[in-house]
Amino acid sequence: MALLKEKVTSIHHWTDKTFSFKTTRNISFRFKNGEFAMIGLEIDGKPLLRAYSVVSPNHEDHLEFLSIKVPNGPLTSKLQHIKLGDEIIVNSKPTGTLVCDYLMPGRNLFLFSTGTGLAPFMSIVRDPETYEKFEKVILTHTVRTSNELAYIDLLNNLNQDEIYSEITKNNFIYFNTVTREKWEREGRITDWILKKELWKVVGTDDFNPELDRVMICGSESMTFDLKKIFEDLGSKEGSTKVQGGFVIEKAFAEK
């Protein structure tokens, strides 16, 4: 295991609770879209690392990460104050279960996220291979307030993007919901699924465990609820060893 040092090249504060940043990328750092890396800072001469999914797709020459800000968090209390030119540490061995290879082949791919759980899906929805494997790619993002909808402009315009329109060929669907303020789509994603409203709004057939595949990343409660919903619908969980109908990420960035 090697610890790589990367320089911060860009920082964006979405809200007082979330921010994202870009860094340089060592030529030796390879990852599959959807994986996470252990990243962090050197504190008192020792590396302090936490799991962070890589936002940027693996064909980009930089790395990007999305983080929460925890006032007393051992890492994020310091990470949220990084400045341009600062160095972060990246473990050279990424891993994770949110990789298309760990799903059985299928028709539609549903990506369910809350909060910063959006991060791994940002690389997956910009990966040409995702669209070769699935007819439609549906990304849902649920947050408390609309200003937490990170990357909303990029996602709303992905099908029209000069570069990515060639990849998505209009087969990408972005669906966000907000739980704590007035918004065009309100409520928890679990309710949208249980009432079968989600499939209608995104224009797909009802979920079929034989054909449709699912990835889940976000709060523990949402992950647990969705896991049960899809198991009840007849889908089986996959892992890095066995392909399944759905996969979840058990490694959370700092709570």
pLDDT, tens digit (0-9, with 9 covering 90-100), for 162-172: 999 999 999 99
Q: How confident is the model at residue 96 (pLDDT cuts 50, 70, 90)?
A: very high
Greater confidence (41 vs 71) lies with 41
Q: What is the Cα–Cα distance from 194 to 190, expressed in whole angstroms?
A: 6
177-178-181 Cα angle (round to 5) = 150
Mean pLDDT of 81-93: 97
pLDDT given for residue 254 in this prediction: 36
Give the tokens for residue 122.
Answer: 């940002």
Q: Residue 34: left if φ>0, alpha if ψ -120 to 50, beta else—which one?
A: left
pLDDT given for residue 252 in this prediction: 56
Give the H/E segment covering residue 3: strand 3-13
Q: How confident is the model at residue 251 (pLDDT cuts 50, 70, 90)?
A: confident
Give the tokens for residue 193.
Answer: 């699924």
Q: List pLDDT tens digits, range 196-228.
A: 999 999 999 999 999 999 999 999 999 999 999
- Domains, in order of start, for the chain: 3-91 (2.40.30.10), 100-248 (3.40.50.80)
Lowest mean pLDDT among 28-32, 156-160, 165-169, 249-253: 249-253
Contact 94, 31 (CB under 8 A): yes
Could you tell me what percent of the chain has a pLDDT over 90? 96
Q: What is the Cα–Cα distance from 139 to 58, expressed in whole angstroms?
A: 19
Look over the chain and give the mean of its residue pLDDT values, rounded to a whole number: 95
Q: What is the Cα–Cα distance from 248 to 205, expressed in whole angstroms?
A: 23
State the greatest distance between any 2 C-alpha atoms of the chain, in Å, as a whole number: 55
Could you tell me what percent of the chain has a pLDDT over 70? 98
pLDDT given for residue 250 in this prediction: 80
Phi, psi of 22 (to 5 degrees): -110, 150
Q: How many residues does the chain have?
A: 255
pLDDT given for residue 105 in this prediction: 96
Burial class (CB within 10 angstroms; exposed 0-12, middle 13-18, buried 19+) of 134? buried
